[in-house]
Structure 1
């Protein structure tokens, strides 16, 4: 982790997250951090879903949206 952690977000950013469910926080992670975490996340998702043989219609709405997001990347 970079030495500037923890990052303290202003109250308006926290309130925006609470209202919208997401917030953009520029420069929190470096390009290298994103690449490193991306590989780890891809591996974890692959391991977790490898034995899941359910069809998309048998998955929850959350699982379906997660799969759709993964396919967009």
Structure 2
């Protein structure tokens, strides 16, 4: 049995996908990566971000705002 394509959650996101998910610009995302606010992995010349790292970043931001 195969899952519908919409039900498959990507393991890694591109910078563009991660920026879209956070509703920020790509340059802002790269700034977060440079400041180590958001972690990524490097595959060749590309950066990839785990959805779990985005969720952790959001939780840290929510906790510091409270």
Same-fold call, TM > 0.5? no
Greater share of residues in strand:
2
Instruction: Give the structure-2-normalised TM-score.
Output: 0.29
Q: Which has the higher contact order (CA 8 A, sep 6+)?
A: 2
Greater share of residues in helix:
1
Instruction: Give the structure-1-normalised TM-score.
Output: 0.27
Q: For the pair shown, which has the larger CA radius of gyration, 1 or 2? A: 1
